[in-house]
């Protein structure tokens, strides 16, 4: 029991990039913003890594199914043009995906993007799971993301974890994963990055 409590406290310290959000957009706002995906169906695990310590700071999951959404559990990315419900951001065009990544790639953090092509059925299941998950408590971003992944057929081998690097390393072992790292040198945090995006 003590080991579990200690692990949870350590996770809370490490995952300082995860913070609860209060925004819940209306059904109409979500429906108006839907971006229908016409490209391949795929999943992309997005991990923020501290450049100084090498520790993971946040996990998110881009789901490209019939529509493209971003499951950003307990994330701090908010923009008036992107509706959000239950920690799912809607209207995720490729431009908005790049903006999300750029807002997180700061002088103190870089972003690891791991893409894997999946079947339409796998992508549909991922979409269903993230939409049903609901808001995630602070510091539970990776726990929630890994919990979703392990319920998708073909991803059952993913172990649920509180640690972004652990999940990133597990994901890297999946066949067909394509990994890129994004470095930028902007100061400040995610909210500063969002503020610089404009409209």
Contact indicator for 76, 19 with CB cutoff of 8 Å: yes
Q: Which long-range contacts (CB under 8 A, 24 or more apart) does 25-32 make?
A: 25/83, 25/84, 25/85, 25/90, 26/83, 29/83, 30/83, 30/85, 30/90, 32/83
Query: Is the entire prediction scored with pTM above 0.85?
Result: yes
Which pLDDT does position 7 carry in this prediction? Answer: 46
Task: For residue range 66-101, list pLDDT tens digits in order.
Answer: 999 999 999 989 988 899 999 999 999 999 999 999
């Amino acid at each position: 029991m003590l080991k579990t409590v200690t692990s949870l406290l350590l996770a809370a310290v490490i995952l300082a990039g995860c913070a609860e959000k209060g925004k819940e957009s209306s059904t109409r706002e979500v429906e108006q913003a839907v971006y229908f995906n016409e490209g391949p169906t795929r999943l992309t695990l997005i991990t923020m890594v501290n450049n100084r310590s090498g520790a993971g700071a946040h996990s998110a999951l881009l789901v490209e199914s019939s529509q493209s959404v971003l499951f950003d559990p307990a994330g701090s990315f908010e923009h008036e043009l992107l509706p959000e419900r239950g920690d799912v951001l809607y209207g995720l065009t490729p431009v908005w995906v790049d903006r999300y990544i750029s807002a997180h790639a700061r002088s103190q953090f870089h972003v690891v993007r791991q893409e894997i092509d999946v079947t339409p059925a796998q992508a549909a299941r991922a979409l269903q799971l993230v939409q049903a998950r609901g808001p995630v408590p602070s510091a539970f971003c990776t726990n929630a993301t890994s919990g979703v992944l392990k319920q998708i057929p073909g991803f059952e081998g993913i172990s649920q974890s509180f640690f972004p690097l652990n999940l990133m390393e597990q994901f890297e072992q999946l066949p067909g994963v394509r990994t890129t790292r994004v470095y930028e040198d902007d100061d400040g945090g995610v909210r500063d990055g969002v503020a610089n995006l404009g409209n």
